[in-house]
A and B are shown apart, each in its own frame.
Chain A
Amino acid sequence: MSVGESSAQSYELRDPDVRLMLEVRDDNAASFEKLMLRYQSRLVTVLEHLTGRRDAAEDLAQEVFLRIYRSRKRYVPGSKFSTWLFTIANNVASNARRSRARRKERNVTPSAGDETGAWSQPSLDQMAQAKSAFLPTRQLDKAEMRDVVQLALETLNERQRLAVLLCKFESMSYIEIGETMGMSPQAVKSLLSRARDNLRDVLEAYMERGELPTRTAEPETAEEAS
């Protein structure tokens, strides 16, 4: 038995979603629906925080499921199913971002901070402007906290944001995040370390001095892009 075969069998034994996907490979539509029901909300959550838009997130999620279905016959378990799914999601989101960037280049002169094709979030920006008053240290209500944390997340560049979302929402290990994003575990450690520091700085500034996060994501470092 080859290493690849034993690895595939090991994932099949450990991960029930891998077993479902193997049934999908054999054209079992019910298994595909089960997988969709298990992952659709999780996937849309990550994509919505990544893109900042619910409609875009749902479109991308549908594209992810379509790709999974199209590639079912070639499926060989090489990782946990969730890692495989979010790898596809990362590719789909990256392609969409590049397409948006190309369209912007063709159609309009891009504004500052929007040159990378990053997803625009007028509602959050408007909210930030509206809440520009100084706020003393205090207990924030739930809705306000949610808005501020969303803004804080927006200050991260897209790779940092995705790493944070996969770590926080999907409880992925550095190795799994690395597989999803095409990075080494060491690079993921560095990426997440910078993301955590940025979040702490931004959130503390708001909690202690009422300074609202501004949506100026810092550029990726060479290490993060590796």
Chain B
Amino acid sequence: MNDDIAATRADEFGDLHAYLDGELAPEERGRFEQRLSADAQLQAELHRQQRAWDLLDALPRSDVGAKFTQSTVEMITLDAAAALTTAETQPRHRWFDLALLSGGVLAAALGGFLAVDALRPHADDALLKDLPVIMHLDDYGRTEPGETGEFFRSLRDAKLTLPERGDDERRP
């Protein structure tokens, strides 16, 4: 019960602050003023609050002079000049950095492509290696039994020997 009364008083005092700050809506203000006129305790509290608030008028107000204005303007001017200098130099640096980066990326891509291409086994490699044999394939077909030894000797003399067995096995 006492808690309810205290809560009601707290609400009223809360409205009192809003009333003093001019924050009550017209209808709320009307209701509050009705309560106020009938409540001596609320009137006393209003008076105490108003008196304490009015004492804040004793607080000094600063008055900064022309010196403050001048130093602030100078500070802002210097800042603006520095910003302007940065703005003039920054785009050139950005373009330069961008061009440098693009060139680097392109060079790296080209180098990578060439390296991979050089290391990759080509299908034509075996054909190129066997080209001398392939060119004389018809001659090999015409060899008679018994001529084999002489035939291979002639091939060897002409530097057209077939690869040895081991080479065939290693070839893909």
For residues 62 through 100 of chain B, which have their beta carbon under 8 Å from a beta carbon of chain A?
62-64, 68-69, 71-73, 75-76, 79-80, 83
Which chain B residue lies CB-closest to A150? B59
Contact yes or no, B23 A189, CB < 8 A:
yes
Q: Which of B53, B62, B75 has the most CB of A within 10 A?
A: B62
Residue in A40, A69, A150, A167 whose CB lies within 8 Å of B68:
A40
Q: How far is the CA of A69 from the CA of B69 in the complex (A)?
A: 14
For residues 47 through 78 of chain A, which have their beta carbon under 8 Å from a beta carbon of chain B?
48-49, 54, 57-58, 61-62, 65-66, 69-70
Contact yes or no, A41 B63, CB < 8 A:
yes
Contact yes or no, B72 A149, CB < 8 A:
no
* Given A65-B76, A69-B76, CB of A203 within 8 Å of CB of B52: yes
Contact yes or no, A189 B72, CB < 8 A:
no
Give the A interface residue count (CB, 8 A). Answer: 42
Contact yes or no, B55 A40, CB < 8 A:
no
Q: Is the interface of B mostly helix, strand, loop or mixed?
A: helix
Q: How far is the CA of A192 from the CA of B73 in the complex (A)?
A: 35
User: Which A residues are in CB contact (< 8 Å) with B61?
Assistant: 41, 45, 169
Is A200 positioned at the interface, with any CB of B under 8 Å from its CB? yes
Contact yes or no, A192 B21, CB < 8 A:
yes
Contact yes or no, B17 A189, CB < 8 A:
yes
User: Which B residues are in CB contact (< 8 Å) with A142?
Assistant: 58
* Given A70-B79, A189-B18, CB of A146 within 8 Å of CB of B13: no
Q: How far is the CA of A46 from the CA of B61 in the complex (A)?
A: 8
Which chain B residue lies CB-closest to A177? B21
Contact yes or no, A199 B23, CB < 8 A:
no
Q: How far is the CA of A41 from the CA of B72 in the complex (A)?
A: 13
User: Which B residues are in CB contact (< 8 Å) with A145?
Assistant: 55, 58
Interface size range of chain B in the complex: 20 to 34
State the Cβ distance, A50 to closest chain B Cβ, in Å: 12
Is A105 positioned at the interface, with any CB of B under 8 Å from its CB? no
* A and B contact pairs by CB, cutoff 8 A, 18 listed: A33-B73, A40-B68, A40-B72, A41-B62, A49-B59, A65-B76, A66-B76, A66-B79, A69-B79, A145-B58, A149-B55, A149-B58, A150-B59, A153-B56, A189-B18, A189-B23, A196-B17, A196-B52
Q: Which of B20, B64, B69, B71 has the most CB of A within 10 A?
A: B64
B9-21, CB under 8 A of A: which get 1 and which 0?
Answer: 0000110011011
Q: How far is the CA of A70 from the CA of B77 in the complex (A)?
A: 11
> Measuring CB to CB, which residues of chain B are less than 8 angstroms from any residue of chain A?
13-14, 17-18, 20-21, 23, 48-49, 52-53, 55-56, 58-64, 68-69, 71-73, 75-76, 79-80, 83
A130-144, CB under 8 A of B: which get 1 and which 0?
Answer: 000000000000100
6 further contact pairs, Cβ within 8 A, besides A36-B69, A189-B17, A199-B53: A33-B73, A41-B61, A45-B60, A48-B62, A62-B72, A199-B56
Which chain A residue lies CB-closest to B60? A146
State the Cβ distance, A14 to closest chain B Cβ, in Å: 19
Which chain B residue lies CB-closest to A202? B52
Contact yes or no, B13 A193, CB < 8 A:
yes
